[in-house]
Amino acid sequence: MEQNEKIKWSQFTILVTLFTIGTSVLLAPTLVAQEAKQDAWIVTIIGVILGYPLLFLYNKIASSFAGRDFFTYVTDLLGTWPGKIISLLLFIYCVFLSSLLIRQVAHFAVTQSFVETPKEAIISFFVLIVIVGGRYGIETLARTGEILFPWVFFLLFILLIALIPELKTERLFPMFEEGVKPLFLGTFVYMGIPYFELFLFLILIPYIKQTGKTEKTGKAFYIGMTLGGIVLIIITLYALLTLGAEATARNQFPSYVMAKTISIANIIERIESFLAAIWFVTIFMKSALTFYCSTLCLANVFNLKDKKFLMVPLGFVLVFLTEYITPNIAHFSEFVLNTWTLYTGTYAILLPLLLITVAAFKKRNERRVKHAQEGKN
């Protein structure tokens, strides 16, 4: 499959940031607070720190691509059939992830803002824009990200300023009330939501335009994740400071509820839609990228020449899969809490480790063969 599309490394940074903020801006505070209570903000900091070794691993793999795309790299390393099986598993992963993301959009919209609209309508329209984004390709998505990126931060900035009067520091105390065990559990859950999903960018790294400086790609990855991570830290901290641990854990969308409390002199009110806007923008980028990756994986499984024609039928599947992916919100929360981190962690940690180990063995074998040949001569 040829790659005509190229993105700049600055655009890559923006994509990573938006991807990291993605679902987590609404989902992370409640999930983490359920486990770690008022220490949830510590967990979000640990999350960013643990993200670095992961990215180090990914950058190491990306640096040995040498002009190949991810799938060719895997196939060269592991062989044809293992490569195909991995692409198929990744395809399933991407489809499930996009379906879960769209499900969250629909759930949020139906329960919070478009109360009278049927869920199917919201799902269909969201899938439609994801298909359009996917068909235009990664280059257009990256440029869309460039346009939307300042808006996300502008809206976030206004929200954070407007919320300052509501903050109460005593809500963070007592720290470590139940020891450090809840922190571990919170970290476990939190890692799965943005950080273990970042490995998808391994598929997209080959699309970065190489300008001779390869270390820039690595830097772009780090900067993107750090920016996204800081946003998540601030959002979680704000949710705890305005609502307290109890309400943050109990609400489905604590950051949205937190934004609802804004009322400046009874004039500036109801600016929680800013948060909804941030959420829609970032989750659109995330689901469009995941969707795009899923078509790349499928095209690789069957060695297809093109991937564009896959988008419409795959979107068609997504519309109905989203209805079936989780029957209710309780099932969804339980899945995210208990299984998601392990599922995505398999691909985020085990797969890169496997690739790196095999690559190291191959290199050693090659050197030994070379050495033996030189010995003969």
Pairwise CA distance, residues 322 & 130, whole Å? 14
DSSP secondary structure code for residue 6 in this structure: -
Task: Output phi, psi for 117, to 5 deg.
Answer: -80, 135
* Count of CB atoms situated within 10 Å of the CB of 266: 6
- CA proximity to 359, closest of 56, 62, 88: 62
Q: What's the closest the beta carbon of residue 356 comes to other proteins, in angstroms? A: 22
User: What is the closest distance, in whole angstroms, from the C-beta atom of residue 2 to other proteins in the complex?
Assistant: 15
Q: Which runs of consecutive H residues, i.e. helices, occur in 167-214? A: 181-192, 201-204
With respect to other proteins, which residue has the nearer C-beta, 157 or 320? 320
Residue 28 or 321: the one with the smaller Cβ distance to other proteins is 321
The DSSP code for 180 is S
Identity of the residue, 91 or 253, whose beta carbon is nearer to other proteins in the bound complex: 91
Residues that bind other proteins (CB under 8 A): 96, 181, 184-185, 188, 298, 302-306, 309-310, 312-314, 316-317, 319-321, 323-327, 331, 335, 338-339, 342-343
> CB under 8 Å to 281, separation ≥6 — which residues?
18, 148, 151, 152
Pair 41, 233: CB distance under 8 Å: yes
Question: How far apart, in Å, are the Cα atoms of 25 and each of 78, 96, 104, 294?
Answer: 37, 20, 12, 23
| Residue 76: CB minimum distance to other proteins, A | 22
Q: What is the DSSP letter of 112?
A: I
Nearer to other proteins, 150 or 313 (CB): 313
* Cβ distance to other proteins smaller for residue 253 or 347: 347
Q: How far is the CB of 127 from other proteins (least distance, A)?
A: 11
Minimum CB distance to other proteins, residue 341 (Å): 9
Q: Whole-number minimum distance, CB 98 to other proteins, in Å?
A: 13
Residue type for 89, please? L
- Least distance from C-beta 89 to other proteins, angstroms? 11
Give every CB contact of residue 73 below 8 A, 6+ residues apart in sequence.
61, 64, 65, 355
Which residues, including other chains, have CB under 8 Å from residue 41's CB and lie 6 or more apart?
172, 233, 236, 237, 240
- 359, 365, 369, 370: CA torsion to nearest 10: 50
59 or 300, CB closer to other proteins? Answer: 300
Residue 111 or 303: the one with the smaller Cβ distance to other proteins is 303
Closest distance of CB 30 from other proteins, Å:
18
Q: Is the CB of 157 or the CB of 302 nearer to other proteins? A: 302
The three-point CA angle 34-28-232 to 5° equals: 130
